[in-house]
Amino acid sequence: MITRPTVSSGQIILLVSIFVTFINNQVFFTSLIQRLDIFSFSGMGYVATFYLLMVLILVLIFLSLGQKYLLKPLMIIVVIMAAVISYFNQALGIVFNVDMIRNIIETVKDNNQQEAIELLSQPLLVHLFWLGLIPSMIIVMIKIQYKKLTQEVVSRLLYGSGVTLLLLIMVMLNFKYVSYFSRENRDLRVWVNPVFPALSSYKYIEGTLSSKKQPFKKLGIHAVQNKQGKKRTVGIMVVGETARADHFSLNGYTRKTNPLLEGEDIINLSNVSSCGTSTAFSVPCMFSLMNRDDYSPDKASRQSNILDVLAKANIKSIWIDNNSSCKGVCERIETDNIRNNPDSSSEYYSDGEYYDEKLLEEMKPFIANNTADTLIVLHTLGSHGPSYHRRYPEKFAKFTPYCQKNSPQECSDEEVSNAYDNTLLYTDYILSQIIHFLKQNAEKYESFLVYVSDHGESLGENGVYLHGLPYFLAPKAQTHIPFIAWFSNDFKHNHKINMHLLRNTANKAYSHDNVSHSLLSLFNVETEEYSEAENIFKKYTEYAGSGL
């Protein structure tokens, strides 16, 4: 018969806290050591002090919440969650800040099983087995010897007081260096596992609950359209997913990722920044009437967005989705999420999801069956990682060899870039097909196309993959996005758009802040919410025939 090891509650709390902190914070301690002299007295003192602080936080949580029948389940949850977080920290460079927590919650709310499955890679399962499952099994096997209630309380107080006293001594011995270094390197806090993700979760819940108490603010209630031409206006806005501007050949990238768009009469804005680094943050921001400095997803959910304002001006809108969801933007307009109606017989259906060409098929009947001025928003799957190779049909696999795994860190940099660039080549085809369709129907209506991505993507630069880093830490690859516009000849004439002037200013700095006001201008909607300064197109509308 195997004898189970017996320990006190205080002993196992201390051991688990030391284990979780030491094993799951490689990124934090590696970054820390790179910024200080580890062999100096001050450097060693700081590392020891911060390590002790991280242990103390876990000790106090376990001591206060881990009562007799809750301690083991609580420790197992912390061990497993810390192991999962450490994998994404180490392997992909992902930070679990408030926006990432929001992304996770949105994925669950949207029942986006496909995205979750793609993240379940073999390296993650191996990592979770050794750092999550095995330690959890050991915790289950250990027998905890609890004392009588009074003795247990005293024992826990002694453990908590002892670790706290030791930390205070360490802080006092290293106060000057601890104070200075912590103030100058606050960005490192995002890697503290599991404390920072726990704080981020708390802030997300607090913000969500707080926003629900706020009344809904209606904007643009007096919006009216001052139409210029006689023809019906059809606008198509394509919301790109995870496209980074520096991989567009339109912006000087050496590979021809935009061969079809290069032959079209488009406006390519080359210096555009995203509002955030995740879909759940950026998409509502893109359609809000707030600037990034004032914006929050919670605040945006409690007021009208640009689609609501257009509806007030009798512009018919529909949101057609091939992504997880519209993140609340389309709640008050007509919607069609094609992922909710899978048709395995469709030529655009593959491996459990649709290619973005399906969106074109869906939008055409809507245009044909409506007579009002119309805005169609196509929310694409675009270049969504990590499984880039699943975003395009095989005929668009031009750049080879390309990564065919769900974990890009297992592929070479070249293979990852090849797979990603193939997604952009497919996006180029989608946009050119929309333009071709609008040209074919030029006699029926004047039209425009606007394409803008929600955020960019890291492809392994400096060990970082995917997206979602806090904005202040995010590389330009995650925030520099493509923005393209095309106008039919009638539209250019009726709106007096001077293409020559637009091209000469195409390298000016723009952002998602400009999207909503530009859409108001394109539909000639007058409202108190409109800002001329934020409009990309109307600033340069002095018409010149030679400028078309």
By the 8 A CB rule, do 439 and 488 touch? yes
Q: What is the pLDDT of residue 41?
A: 87
By the 8 A CB rule, do 327 and 310 touch? no
Q: How confident is the model at residue 496 (pLDDT cuts 50, 70, 90)?
A: confident
Distance CA 77, CA 193 (A): 13
pLDDT per residue as tens digits for the range 198-246:
999 999 999 999 888 899 999 999 999 998 778 999 999 999 999 999 9
User: Could you tell me if residue 111 is left (phi over 0), alpha (psi between -120 and 50 degrees) or otherwise beta?
Assistant: left
Angle 184-186-192 (CA atoms, 0-180°, nearest 5)? 140
Report the SS3 class of residue 306: helix
Q: What is the pLDDT of residue 111?
A: 84
Q: What is the pLDDT of residue 180?
A: 82
Q: The domain 234-547: what is its CATH number?
A: 3.40.720.10
Q: 397-431 burial by CB neighbour count: b if 16+ within 10 A, else e?
A: bbbeebbebbbbbebeeebbbbbbbbbbbbbbbbb
Distance CA 233, CA 230 (A): 9
Averaged pLDDT, 240-264 = 98
Q: How confident is the model at residue 2 (pLDDT cuts 50, 70, 90)?
A: low
Asked whether the predicted pLDDT for residue 181 surpasses 60, the reply is yes
Asked whether the predicted pLDDT for residue 547 surpasses 70, the reply is no
Pairing of strands 266-273, 480-487: antiparallel
Share of the chain above pLDDT 70, in %: 98
Distance CA 494, CA 487 (A): 11
Asked whether the predicted pLDDT for residue 522 surpasses 50, the reply is yes
Q: What is the pLDDT of residue 548?
A: 42
pLDDT per residue as tens digits for the range 432-490:
999 999 999 999 999 999 999 999 999 999 999 999 999 999 999 999 999 999 999 99
By the 8 A CB rule, do 259 and 268 touch? no
Q: What is the mean pLDDT of the chain?
A: 93
Q: What is the pLDDT of residue 29?
A: 94
Share of the chain above pLDDT 90, in %: 77
H or E element: which one contains 39? none
User: What is the domain partition of the chain in residue ranges?
Assistant: 6-211, 234-547
Q: What is the pLDDT of residue 311?
A: 97
